[in-house]
Structure 1
Amino acid sequence: MRAFLALLLISIPLTPLAAAPPTFDGAMQRIEGPQFPNRQGLDPLTIQQIMARFHVPGISIAIIYDFQIVGTKNWGTADVETSAPVTDDTLFQAASMSKPVAAMASLKAVQLGKFRLDQDINTILTSWKVPYGGFGPVTPRMLMSHTSGTGDGLGFPGYAPGTPLPTLPQLLEGVAPSNTPKVRMVRPPLMAAQYSGGGVEIQQLALTDAVGKPFSQIAQDWILAPIGMRHSSFEQPLPLRMQPYTARAHDEAGKAMNVRWHVYPEQGAAGLWTTASDYARFMIEVQKTLAGRSTTVLNRAMIQNMVTPVGVGSFAVGFQIQQKGEGWYFQHGGSNWGFRSNAIAHVAKGYGMVIMTNGDGGGQVASAVLDRVAAVYGWDMLDKAILR
């Protein structure tokens, strides 16, 4: 697959799309309304009816076409208790969509010569060491592609605001006040792919040890600010100045959680607060760098690591890579307490989408919106275009 993707990126012309897109307003009319032809399922429903079915109070989307954001759209409320509307500036928890951004920060460190992508992680770490137990060594590439052999499967529940937060070594050791088990090796590296938020946190610690700065500052200086993600932050807890713009967490019934959100000291794995537009800027930066149109953060050779699957499984460094229909896409979803999100973009063509939601039922809504956007904008993830 790695050789095929490399050939794909060389052989497909990385040029603006030839076909003119629909106007954004026209596209949104088709996306928001009942779908024709009616394939049953959710097709007869409007977006707002789908939100009501899955009890999702609010969603925000940004649509990418020809390597730029062509429009944004928001539905519903950021907080059912205040009825504040979702806007372009509403902050959502990106959850596991944090991981590709964190991966880009580590790749920047590699590009700057701080460490190597295939270096033994224990030669980078200074504040803690991975207990290999006969299974090592492990590298940054393995940790960021879920192929390292760590067996936690995490997923983090987060912490109520105001409660004690663990340090990264405490979290990795599973000792108080950590609310998750110890991260440990369960198999040799590259034997199988197993999703591991704990592995990503090992890499976060290695990055901060190597650079000598807090992770949130590294991400701000190297990724968020250069790309123009002005409404995003990895700071946990979120700074008071940004809290008025946040969406609230809601459960599967659409009811407000007992606190507005959880705090995630696992910043690289789950800690990004962002908007749909800001995250779309990140996805576009990946696309433009792959196309040789940007070196704002990484060079073209380094960015290839984010779309080249590692050994086993479908994960590259940061992103999951999948063939959908006739096209190849890089993507990542997110699932925090009361938040669901998804981002997807074509590896060679300049289109994609980001959707953020503030409800535990948001995954179903995101899938429905994605299907409609792909159909209206003619993405090649559809084997055959759906007639409208």
Structure 2
Amino acid sequence: MDALIEAMMSKAKVTGLSLAILHDGKIVKAKGYGMADKDSHKPVTADTLFQAASISKPVAALGALRLVEQKVLSLDADVNTVLKKWKVPENEFTKEKKVTLRGILSHSAGINGDHFDGYEDGKPVPELMEVLNGKKPANSPPIRVGCVPGSEWRYSGGGYVVLQQMMLDTTQKPFPSFMAETVLGPLGMTSSTYEQPLPAAKAALAATGHYADGTAVNGRWHIYPEMAAAGLWTTATDLARFVLGVNQAFAGESQSVISKATARQMLTVQRDDDGLGLFLAGKGEILQFYHTGRNEGFDAYVIGCTYKAQGIAILINANDSSGLLGDLAREIAVMYGW
């Protein structure tokens, strides 16, 4: 497997890669390959931090579903009933249908903002309210409803920014602190953090992002105040623990974050093969859940199988369009006889 991974990385010109494999409920492999930073030739290890990019969303979804279980949030109520400092602006699309948490988690709330570019280190970084309103120094348009909620599937990082504000308003805690206490800690994801910018101690463990041509991202990485949508720093091992946590909740073996009933709902199709925070494939005993991610200089992939406690997490400090992550996951599945 190591020789295969190194050959695939060389062909795709990927700088560094971190891998974790979950098999029969145990993390059986956790290893780094290549370089965390080209200039210093620092190697990737199992402890190297990468940006999870959009895989931040399903992890954040667990925190939101925990609040649903505590009856702090509702899946089907108008989100404006809990938003305090900012409200989803009403328009012609929201006259009869309102934005709900279920819609946000399943990308069917009609909210714009499919992705975010982040902010270079040393340049102004907006507050969350400025991102929501699209005001400088935010580099993204205001978060608005662009079609009737529930009428179509529309990938929306903007919806998760709204979710972040909902969680701030209802918990009265900084988003990174709430997620650390409610999700990351209970799942054993102790290396992970939503803190933006990254604290100095963790920055020393972080990989440098690289574009497709191999050049490094200015300042090593971008800062993402859109934490729920794109702000998670993590390791492949911690993402494997996330998969295991979802597996265990689905099987009723653990309620450290959410119950079996909520996990079953999370992994039930809501719209267009999308559950609540995770994409779904297959049915019955081969039901799989997965998510991908891309930030400036980082790509990520995670997949799990609901009934067999199997999964793969792959993180790279490169933007790759060769299909490396999916191809590698398929090769690993063959090697393990999945």
TM-score between both structures, scaled by the size of structure 1: 0.84
Shift of 1:363: 6.2
Taking structure 1 as reference, are residues 335 and 240 closer, same or farther at Cα in structure 2, changes over 3 Å only? Answer: same
TM-score between both structures, scaled by the size of structure 2: 0.96
Shift of 1:135: 2.3
The answer to whether 1:206 aligns with 2:166 is: yes
Secondary structure, counterpart of 1:372 in structure 2 = helix
Secondary structure, counterpart of 1:199 in structure 2 = helix
Separation (CA, whole Å) in 1 of partners of 2:272 and 2:262: 20
Q: For this pair of structures, how many residues does the alignment match?
A: 335
Shift of 1:338: 0.3
Shift of 1:324: 8.4
Name the counterpart of 2:297.
338
Separation (CA, whole Å) in 1 of partners of 2:183 and 2:177: 10
Name the counterpart of 1:185.
145
Name the counterpart of 1:250.
210
Name the counterpart of 1:37.
none
Q: Within 5 A, what are the aligned runs for 1:276-291? A: 276-291=236-251
The answer to whether 1:48 aligns with 2:9 is: no
Asked whether the equivalents of residues 251 and 360 of structure 1 are also in contact (C-alpha less than 8 Å), the reply is yes
Question: Which of 264, 286, 300 is equivalent to 1:304?
Answer: 264
Asked whether the equivalents of residues 121 and 218 of structure 2 are also in contact (C-alpha less than 8 Å), the reply is no
Taking structure 1 as reference, are residues 214 and 363 closer, same or farther at Cα in structure 2, changes over 3 Å only? Answer: farther
Secondary structure, counterpart of 1:286 in structure 2 = helix
Q: Within 5 A, what are the aligned runs for 1:349-360? A: 349-360=308-319
Shift of 1:126: 0.3
Question: Which of 105, 127, 134 is equivalent to 1:167?
Answer: 127
Asked whether the equivalents of residues 76 and 86 of structure 1 are also in contact (C-alpha less than 8 Å), the reply is yes
Asked whether the equivalents of residues 120 and 218 of structure 2 are also in contact (C-alpha less than 8 Å), the reply is no
Taking structure 1 as reference, are residues 324 and 247 closer, same or farther at Cα in structure 2, changes over 3 Å only? Answer: farther
Deviations 1:28-50 (A, max 9, x none): xxx344xxxxxxxxxxxx32222
Name the counterpart of 2:15.
57
1:360 is matched by which residue type in structure 2? N
Question: Which of 91, 101, 111 is equivalent to 1:150?
Answer: 111
Shift of 1:325: 11
Separation (CA, whole Å) in 1 of partners of 2:31 and 2:316: 12
Separation (CA, whole Å) in 2 of partners of 1:32 and 1:138: 46
1:291 is matched by which residue type in structure 2? A
Aligned identity (percent) is 40
The answer to whether 1:108 aligns with 2:54 is: no
1:148 is matched by which residue type in structure 2? A
In structure 1, runs of 5+ residues without a counterpart are 1-30, 34-45, 380-388
Taking structure 1 as reference, are residues 147 and 335 closer, same or farther at Cα in structure 2, changes over 3 Å only? Answer: same
Range with bigger deviation, 260-269 or 127-136: 127-136
Secondary structure, counterpart of 1:170 in structure 2 = helix
Separation (CA, whole Å) in 1 of partners of 2:333 and 2:284: 11
Name the counterpart of 2:93.
135
Range with bigger deviation, 347-356 or 316-325: 316-325
The answer to whether 1:96 aligns with 2:54 is: yes
1:146 is matched by which residue type in structure 2? H
Deviations 1:307-336 (A, max 9, x none): 1121x3121111001128982210000100
In structure 2, runs of 5+ residues without a counterpart are none
Deviations 1:175-198 (A, max 9, x none): 111000112111111111010000
Taking structure 1 as reference, are residues 188 and 84 closer, same or farther at Cα in structure 2, changes over 3 Å only? Answer: same
Name the counterpart of 1:268.
228
Taking structure 1 as reference, are residues 77 and 325 closer, same or farther at Cα in structure 2, changes over 3 Å only? Answer: farther
Shift of 1:366: 1.1
Deviations 1:52-79 (A, max 9, x none): 2221111011001112211112210100
Secondary structure, counterpart of 1:122 in structure 2 = helix
CA RMSD in angstroms comes to: 1.5
Question: Which of 71, 83, 88 is equivalent to 1:125?
Answer: 83
Separation (CA, whole Å) in 2 of partners of 1:66 and 1:293: 14
Asked whether the equivalents of residues 341 and 363 of structure 1 are also in contact (C-alpha less than 8 Å), the reply is no
Secondary structure, counterpart of 2:256 in structure 1 = coil
Separation (CA, whole Å) in 2 of partners of 1:228 and 1:214: 20
